[in-house]
Amino acid sequence: ADDVALDPWGSSSVSDYRKLFEEFGIEEFDEILEEVPNPHYLMRRGVIFGHRDYRPVAEALQNDEPAAVLSGFMPTGDPHIGHKLVFDEIIWHQQQGADAYALIADLEANSARGMSWAEIDDHARDYLLSLLALGFDPEEGELYRQSTNRELQDLAFELGADANFSEFQAIYGFDGETDVSHMQSVVTQMADILYPQLEEPKPTVIPVGPDQDPHVRLARDLAERMRFFKVSEAYASFELEPEERALVAEFYADLEPADFDDDQLRCVHVAEAIEETPLSELAVDADTLSSVLTKLEEAGMEPIRPRTRFFDRRATDEAFDALIDAVEGEKRVYENHVDAFDLDRAAAEELAREVEVDNGGYGFQPPSSIYHRFMTGLTGGKMSSSIPASHISLLDDPEDGYDKVKAATTGGRETAEEQREKGGKADECPVYELYAYLLSGDDDEFAKRVYDECVDGERLCGDCKEQAAQLMKEFLEDHQEKREEVEGLLEDADIELES
Ligand code: SF4
């Protein structure tokens, strides 16, 4: 029951969500729920239970600023009601104004699961039709498959240069037997995750199940690395005149950063721009800085190592501009040297991004993620694509869907009498999950009524399942009708499918 191993390709089940918070640093979604505009019912009902760094995305949505959502589907079988959670999450973000991306992880299906291309194409089509039927807008959003997206492949190649085998070993348990395509599919996935930021860095959320968290962590790591340009190891060869150095040193020698007034805050440490002088000990005002930079320029833009502390964004715009000019061609601001004060960090990061963007770099923001609970299988245990009775496929005949719900295990008591007396165990009931995750739609009151009636003993499983089965049948009928209606949309969408 302690199984919280997170293996993106295994059959990991998560039996204790609390451990995810403690061991993997996933944060509780509840804590930021209030900051989310019009939260989706999956958020309100705790189905989306965790996140990594979702706040920037929530803020962007709140303020109508650019944001993106991306998730991928490995087309290894029929899309089922568990996948619908992710479809809903993508679509909701799109409706809140985010740029939405849905991708078919065909390389991964081929390399990690050994699927043939023909099978992949069939399933891919089914996933996409369901996504469109549920409301994804292909004109506003982007659909792609990994194997035919050239830009993605280029990005994956670059990311590959920043990752190495030992890392994959540590994160995924790869060993000497792991084939190269599998590794390649990992860098491709990293590229997927960062793809929405190719043109412009923006808060991006990846809605996934918790088993995909290793990918998110690695992508966040790589985003940090790719954020900065590689710098030559060369040291500064520029020299200030000794008198100038002394002057600068003297001017600021007795000042603590806290003593700086706004003007004096026009200062930036340009450590080691002055040879051998650890300017982390000094502060330089804008004028001095620009004199330093002029000299740098005259010296033919020799590499500087801007071991720079930015004290106050408001006060140092000029200095920033000068620095941006200066590092053009040099291309790196060491974030880890921006260690002065917490309050300056955001400004420094923003600058770092500007510098990179100006220089043609990526400036990726570490991607955020949200995590949803796995649905319990209708037969108890895990909902699995390989056990038909455990799940309801979005392609199931509505009558079969009805029958599966009727045959589902419940959290009911042995006898009706006992149920009336003690109430049912809605928290352990796969049928209740169907109500909460899907059948109640946006209607919180309905979901709550089912719950309350169950635990109060007013609801008995027979009737409850009949109602759920009926709703499931209607949902499937409706969904499949919509799938037919959107076939044209899929034809028009810019994605290549053989079948
Ligand atoms: Fe589950 Fe409904 Fe029975 Fe309650 S009454 S245990 S929700 S099937």
Per-position pLDDT tens, the chain of length 499: 333 445 545 544 555 667 777 777 889 999 999 999 999 999 999 899 999 999 999 999 999 999 999 999 988 888 999 999 999 999 999 999 999 999 999 988 888 778 888 889 989 999 999 999 999 999 999 999 999 999 999 889 888 887 888 888 888 888 888 888 888 889 999 999 999 998 888 999 999 988 889 899 999 988 876 654 322 221 222 234 455 445 444 444 444 444 433 333 323 333 333 333 333 333 444 455 555 555 545 544 333 333 333 323 333 444 445 454 444 433 333 332 333 223 344 544 555 555 444 434 567 889 999 999 888 899 888 787 778 888 899 999 999 999 999 999 999 999 999 999 999 999 889 999 999 999 999 999 999 999 999 999 999 999 999 999 999 999 999 999 999 999 999 888 877 776 5
Q: What are phi and psi of 41, to 5 degrees?
A: -65, -30
- What is the structure's pLDDT at 389? 84
Q: Tokens in use for 131?
A: 């996504």
Indicate which atom in ligand 1 lies nearest the CA of residue 450. Answer: 7
**Is any atom of ligand 1 closer than 6 Å to the C-beta of 464?**
yes
Residue nearest to atom 4 of ligand 1 (CA): 454
Q: What superfamily in CATH does domain 388-492 come from? A: Tyrosyl-Transfer RNA Synthetase (1.10.240.10)
Residue nearest to atom 5 of ligand 1 (CA): 461
Name the class of domain 17-228+365-372: alpha beta
- What is the structure's pLDDT at 222? 87
pTM over 0.80: no
Among candidate residues 267, 358, 272, 261, the one with its CA nearest the CA of residue 317:
267
**Is any atom of ligand 1 closer than 6 Å to the C-beta of 412?**
yes
Q: Of the residues 378, 406, 409, 410, which should be mutated to test ligand 1's pocket, given the most ligand atoms within 8 Å of the CB?
A: 410
DSSP state of 137: -
Residue nearest to atom 8 of ligand 1 (CA): 461
- What is the structure's pLDDT at 173? 86
- What is the structure's pLDDT at 144? 95
- What is the structure's pLDDT at 134? 97
156 phi-psi bin (left φ>0, alpha ψ -120 to 50, beta other): alpha
- What is the structure's pLDDT at 113? 78
Output the CA 399–ligand 1 centroid distance in Å.
21
**Is any atom of ligand 1 closer than 6 Å to the C-beta of 439?**
no
- What is the structure's pLDDT at 291? 58
- What is the structure's pLDDT at 343? 31
**Is any atom of ligand 1 closer than 6 Å to the C-beta of 429?**
yes
What are the sequence ranges of the domains in the chain?
17-228+365-372, 242-358, 388-492
Handedness of CA 411, 413, 415, 420 (dihedral sign): negative
Among candidate residues 432, 470, 431, the one with its CA nearest the CA of residue 448:
432
Taking each helix axis from N to C end, the angle separating 150-160 and 180-194, rounded to the nearest 10 degrees, works out to 110
